[in-house]
Structure 1
Amino acid sequence: MVEREDSYDFRPVTEKDLPMIAGWLAKPHLAQWWGDPEIEIAEIREHISSVSVEPLIVELDGKPIAYLQSYDPHLEDDHPYADQPFGTLGIDLSIGPAELVGIGHGSAIVRQFVGELFEEGAPRVVIDPHPDNGRAIRAYEKAGFRPIGRRHSEYGDVVLMAVDAAEADTGRGGLTR
C-alpha cells in the first residue's frame, strides 16, 4: 500500500449532509460497525449544536469522502474515557465510499487530523475501534496509535487506542509517517 500524500479538508456537518451520511451508514462496509442509520443520524443531528462533540465532513479535492467526529470525554457525564488525562480528545472516522476503503485514506486522514488537534493543544487523542475491525486497527496503528486496553461500555466492546502529543512528531500538519 502506498502512503497517501493527499491533504484533506475538514468542515462542520450541516443538515444538508445528513442524507449523504445516512447513505454511507447503510453501506455494508459501515453498517457492520454502526447501529440503525435513523438513530445514528438523529444523534449526529444533535451533535451539530453540541459542545462536547464536533461532527465533521472530510473532503478530498472538494468532494466529501468521510464522516469524522471529535469529542471531549470530560464534557459528557459518565463517559467511559473520562479516566484519560484532562484535555484528551476522542475521534471516530468512517469513510463513506466503499471504493476509498483500504487504500490508505483512513490512516492519512487520522494522521492529519490528529496533527491539527496536537497543534491546538490536545495532549492525547484516543480512538476506539471494535476488536474485530482489524482494518481500522491497522490503519490507526499506521497513524501512530497504540492499544492501551480493552473496554466494554454503552458504546460496545472496543480496543481503546491512544497517541500522545509528547510522543508524536507532528511536523507539517500531521504525524510523521
Structure 2
Amino acid sequence: MSASERYTFREVTPADLPLLAEWQLRPHVRKWWDTAEPFTAQKLKDTRVKRWIVETTQRPFAYLQDYSVHGWEDHHFFSLPKGSRGIDQYIGEADMTGKGHGPAFIAQHLKALFEAGVPVVATDPHPDNTRAISAYKKAGFEVFGSSQATQWGLILPMKVSSSS
C-alpha cells in the first residue's frame, strides 16, 4: 500500500451494525449525523448506496457511503451528470479526528470513484459543520450554490469533478 493509499475500504456487513450503532451514539458523530434512522440489515440491501468501513493499519475508525444521486428523483443533486455519486462520511473514533484522516481518505475514495468513471462527486454538509466543509475543501470539493433546506436537512452543496 502506498502512502497515498493508506486506507482500506471494506463493504459494511450486518456484522458491522453494532459498531456503527456505537459510533452513532458518540457526541462528535451525533452532532451532525442523523441517528433517528439507524443502520439495519435491510438498509444494507439498498443498491443505490455503497457503504464502507474505513480502516488504517487494520483499525476501523470511520464510515463512508457513496450513492447514486439519480437514485431519488427528488434528490437535490439529481441535475448532476449521469453517473454522478454523492458521499457522506464520519470518523467514528474521536481520537482519530483532527489528524488529517478525513481529507486523506475522502481523496483516496474520490480517486477510486473517478478511476471507475464517475464524472462528478457531490456532498452536502450542514453549513455550520466547518470541520466537514474544511475536510471536503482539502479533498478538492468546491461550494456550488448557497445553503438550502432539503428533506434531509439544511445543506451546503459541494462538488468535485473528475476533470478537476
TM-score scaled by length of structure 2 = 0.92
For residues 34 and 14 of structure 2, the distance between their equivalents in structure 1, rounded to whole angstroms, comes to 20
SS at match of 1:75: coil
| Match status 1:157 vs 2:154 | yes
For residues 161 and 43 of structure 2, the distance between their equivalents in structure 1, rounded to whole angstroms, comes to 25
| Match status 1:41 vs 2:45 | no
> Identity of aligned pairs, percent?
41
SS at match of 2:126: coil
For residues 46 and 76 of structure 1, the distance between their equivalents in structure 2, rounded to whole angstroms, comes to 18
| Match status 1:147 vs 2:146 | no
Deviation sequence 1:13-59 (CA, Å, 0-9, x none) = 0111011111111111011112235x2223xx333212100111111
Q: State the 1:5 CA deviation.
A: 5.2
- Matched with 1:166 is 163
- Matched with 2:12 is 13
For residues 35 and 165 of structure 1, the distance between their equivalents in structure 2, rounded to whole angstroms, comes to 29
For residues 36 and 87 of structure 1, the distance between their equivalents in structure 2, rounded to whole angstroms, comes to 28
Aligned 8 A contact 2:4 2:108 in 1: no
SS at match of 2:125: coil
- Matched with 1:130 is 126
- Structure 1's 102 and 162: CA in aligned 2 closer, same or farther, altered over 3 A? same
**Of 46, 51, 54, the match for 2:50:** 54
Matched length: 161
Aligned 8 A contact 1:47 1:54 in 2: no
What residue identity is the alignment partner of 1:133?
A: N
TM-score scaled by length of structure 1 = 0.86
Aligned 8 A contact 2:11 2:52 in 1: yes
- Structure 1's 118 and 103: CA in aligned 2 closer, same or farther, altered over 3 A? same
Q: State the 1:90 CA deviation.
A: 0.4
What CA RMSD, in Å, does the superposition of the two structures yield over aligned residues?
A: 1.5
Q: State the 1:137 CA deviation.
A: 0.4
Q: Which has the higher helix share?
A: 1
SS at match of 1:69: strand
| Match status 1:65 vs 2:54 | no
For residues 83 and 108 of structure 1, the distance between their equivalents in structure 2, rounded to whole angstroms, comes to 28
Aligned 8 A contact 1:107 1:143 in 2: yes
Segments of 5+ residues of structure 2 without an aligned counterpart are none
